[in-house]
Amino acid sequence: MPIDAGLTGTAELTVTDADTAAALGSGDVPVLGTPRVLALAEAATVAALAGRLDAGRTTVGTEVRLAHTAPTPVGARVVATAHLVRVEGRRLAFEVAVTQEGRQVAVGTVERVVVHRERFLAGARRGE
């Protein structure tokens, strides 16, 4: 299937103690930690590509810009939405937003690159 701009994906999370800044080492407060926000945003980009990649292909994240703009307490549900806005060869650019009950808590961009899975892993094992 072709990968075209306009694809959308989502990922959801109900915040637990394990998702907090205090638990992740990114701060000392019991609210949703930025590393978990980033992981959720990336999961939404992966969801946008589900079923779209040729056999043996995957994508890897290469660049992220993320503004985490509001706190989210334990127990709250957050939703990340990713929109594929640009395709340049193997490079895929997404705009991402994370919301809690319609309130924006993070916004940014994620770039991913399509790679051949086995070649990528072989290079990683060799330290390339």
Structure tokens at 68: 């985490």
Q: How confident is the model at residue 8 (pLDDT cuts 50, 70, 90)?
A: very high
For 30-55, what is each residue's pLDDT tens digit? 999 999 999 999 999 999 999 999 99
Per-residue buried b or exposed e for 15-31, using 16+ beta carbons within 10 Å of the residue's own CB: beeebbbebeebeeebb
Nearest to 30 by CA among 64, 76, 69, 78: 76
Q: Which domains does the chain have, with CATH numbers?
A: 8-126 (3.10.129.10)
Rg (CA), the chain: 16
pTM comes to 0.95
Mean pLDDT of 71-100: 98
Distance, in Å, from the CA atom of 4 to the CA atom of 36, rounded to the nearest integer, reads 27
